[in-house]
Structure 1
Amino acid sequence: MAEQKNYQMYINGEWVAAQSGKTFESINPSDGKPWAVVPEADEVDVDTAVKAAHRAFTEGPWPTMTATERGKLLRRLGDVLAEHSESLGHCETVDPGQTVQRNPLAGALYLGLLLLLCRPGRQGQWRDPSHRKTQYVDHDNT
């Protein structure tokens, strides 16, 4: 049997368990076996996460950043996703019960969609309305 992984939630810059301490097993539908243990989030956890996200957006650096600065961060996020593509692909294949042999590209396709969200627009451009011009991200120095 494959090793069962334990996961946590990322809230307010930290990996945390559900405040209730409750967890549940995620079952792989293809074989009926648990493959992961995840926090059983409840209303308290959701409220905590939403408040932390709102606070980060309103009080953190994001609202004052230019599109160029945001683009650099999103590009870095894309790089991190690519670095962890194997484990992300595994999760996105096993969780809905697919087998890697049956659908070897499922994780890669999902990752590709995430990377599209993190990569800049055509020819590396991010549109910055505050500057009223197109800002170019220097991909070699991000």
Structure 2
Amino acid sequence: MNELGQEGAVKAFAFADAGMAAFHSRLIALDHIGLGSSLVTHNGVTPEIISQYNPDIIVLHGNPEQGIRSDYDQQVLLDWALKNGLGKLCIMQWRPTYILHIFSRVSHSNIEELCEKTVQVNNVSNENFTLNSMQVPPWRWWTE
């Protein structure tokens, strides 16, 4: 996201619980859970608030069985995305049961490539993930 921002391809994005993604992207970020936006905390997610942020990319949480989850006002974001010219770019996989649906105004090959890699790398059972990561000391992950 940071690279896309530096190129001028993306100015803002929406992602529930954006945290580190928002920080490292250096972009305008709509955290639609409300932790990063007093507008959302006090009013919930509305089409008007989404329009104020005008995200170029919207990331929605989901799972393979149900598709996009119904919490965090994600349906409002999906409706806004489709009405405002954002199409489904790809699915990013964190775990076999936890995926992110990424919608964008334009195609971004670097995000699409990353999505493909996540499906290959993160399609590991919780048991295998735990067994493989327990042998790695925790400070191995303490990098940026």
Same fold, TM exceeding 0.5? no
User: Based on CA coordinates, which of the two structures has the bigger radius of gyration?
Assistant: 1
Higher helix share: 1
The structure showing larger relative contact order (alpha-carbon pairs under 8 Å, at least 6 residues apart) is: 1
- Please indicate the TM-score interval, normalised by the length of the shorter structure: under 0.3
